């Protein structure tokens, strides 16, 4: 992100897709950088996994191991959390 740091943190974020097999490696790398990892919300089984983290300028990012289409399809199946 370019520009000034944000004055405070919020849930507004930018999301990026990652492969389902990349979760553990990405989480280790993010923590090694000293970035704050935010606890994600409870997930519906089969909708993928997310890592939320703040950069040093208070921007929130999400790495998600699935697509919007997969998530919506899973919700449409009436899955329980």
62 as an active site residue: the answer is: yes
Catalytic residue among 22, 36, 62, 70: 62
**Secondary structure (DSSP) of the chain:** --SSPPSS--S-EEEEE--GGGHHHHHHHHHHTTPEEEPPPP--TTS--EEEEE-TTS-EEEEESS-HHHHHHHHHTT---
Report, as residue numbers or ranges, the catalytic residues: 62
């Amino acid at each position: 992100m370019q520009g000034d740091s944000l004055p405070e943190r919020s849930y507004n974020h930018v999301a990026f897709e990652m492969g389902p097999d990349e979760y553990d490696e990405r989480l280790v790398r993010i923590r090694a950088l000293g970035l704050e990892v935010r606890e994600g919300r409870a997930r519906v089984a089969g909708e993928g996994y997310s890592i939320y983290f703040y950069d040093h300028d208070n921007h929130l990012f999400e790495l998600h191991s699935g697509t919007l289409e997969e998530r919506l399809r899973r919700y449409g199946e009436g899955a329980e959390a």
